[in-house]
């Protein structure tokens, strides 16, 4: 199957089963999304939402986060992994947003990357969600699904996968498709016990054909 046919097939199927896929992190302010994405590293969105539902009420604005001690922030997020590093990141981000960016999340990657805990993926998520920038964030689900569906090679890096996805799909598809990849990987094409039998993409799935990495237990 040619690349364009494969991509069209994927888009058609995703639009069929996940027409309204969207960000599952809860937020009401721009910096809350940035905080939530940083907190989500190696943690589920569900767990992050549990933490932030309390965190954002206790500290309702950036000034309250700035006044809070590092230990206080740690105590409020210690239920998630890497909480010490993430607390440091939240403090650094808060300080920079207040004093460097006039209380606003910057709309460009250069500035976002100056903040602790903000790497390429976090920056891409913020840019695509808050500013509708033409980015294609690659998280663990996007990374896995892309390789299973033959959109990238097994040994490709995250950066290489992102580059290939950008080339294979139209820019106006990036935002919805990014969420569809995540939801597909989270609820259908799971790392363990994926729903292969009912999947309409199994004919192009490399793992189904090679039986190489799908785990059944």
d(CA 142, CA 180): 9
> Given a cut of 90, is residue 126 above it in pLDDT?
yes
> Given a cut of 60, is residue 217 above it in pLDDT?
no
Closest CA to 7 of 165, 160, 126: 165
Q: What is the pLDDT of residue 209?
A: 62
Closest CA to 204 of 158, 156, 146: 146
Enumerate domains of the chain plus CATH numbers.
Answer: 3-21+136-210 (1.10.1670.10), 30-131 (1.10.340.30)
Q: What is the pLDDT of residue 210?
A: 67
The pLDDT-based confidence of 214 (bands split at 50, 70, 90) is very low
Q: What is the pLDDT of residue 211?
A: 59
Percent pLDDT > 70 in the chain is 95
Of the listed ranges 38-42, 132-136, 191-195, 212-216, the one predicted with least confidence: 212-216
Q: What is the pLDDT of residue 107?
A: 97
pLDDT tens digit sequence for 103-121: 999 999 999 999 999 999 9
Question: Active-site residue among 86, 91, 121, 164?
Answer: 121
> Given a cut of 80, is residue 215 above it in pLDDT?
no
pLDDT tens digit sequence for 182-213: 999 999 999 999 999 999 999 999 876 665 44
Question: Active-site residue among 139, 147, 168, 175?
Answer: 139
Whether 110 is catalytic is no
CB 129 within 8 A of CB 45: no
Whether 92 is catalytic is no
d(CA 19, CA 212): 30
């Amino acid at each position: 199957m040619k690349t364009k046919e494969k991509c069209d097939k994927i888009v058609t199927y995703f639009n069929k089963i996940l027409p309204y896929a969207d960000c599952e992190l809860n937020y009401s302010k721009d910096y809350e999304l940035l905080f939530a994405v940083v907190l989500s590293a190696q943690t589920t969105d569900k767990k992050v939402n549990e933490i932030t539902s309390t965190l954002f009420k206790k500290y309702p604005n950036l000034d309250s986060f700035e006044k809070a001690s590092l230990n206080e922030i740690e105590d409020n997020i210690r239920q998630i992994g890497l909480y010490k590093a993430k607390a440091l990141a939240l403090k650094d981000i808060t300080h920079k947003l207040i004093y460097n960016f006039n209380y606003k999340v910057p709309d460009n990657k250069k500035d976002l990357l100056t903040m602790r805990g903000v790497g390429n993926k976090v920056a891409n998520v913020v840019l695509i969600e808050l500013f509708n920038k033409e980015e294609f964030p690659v998280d663990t689900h996007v990374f896995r699904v892309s390789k299973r569906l033959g959109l990238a090679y097994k040994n490709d890096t995250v950066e290489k996968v992102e580059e290939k996805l950008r080339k294979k799909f139209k820019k106006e598809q990036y935002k919805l498709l990014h969420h569809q990849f995540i939801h597909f990987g989270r609820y259908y094409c799971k790392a363990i016990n994926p729903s292969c039998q009912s999947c309409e993409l199994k004919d192009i799935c490399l793992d189904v054909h090679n039986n190489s990495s799908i785990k059944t237990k």
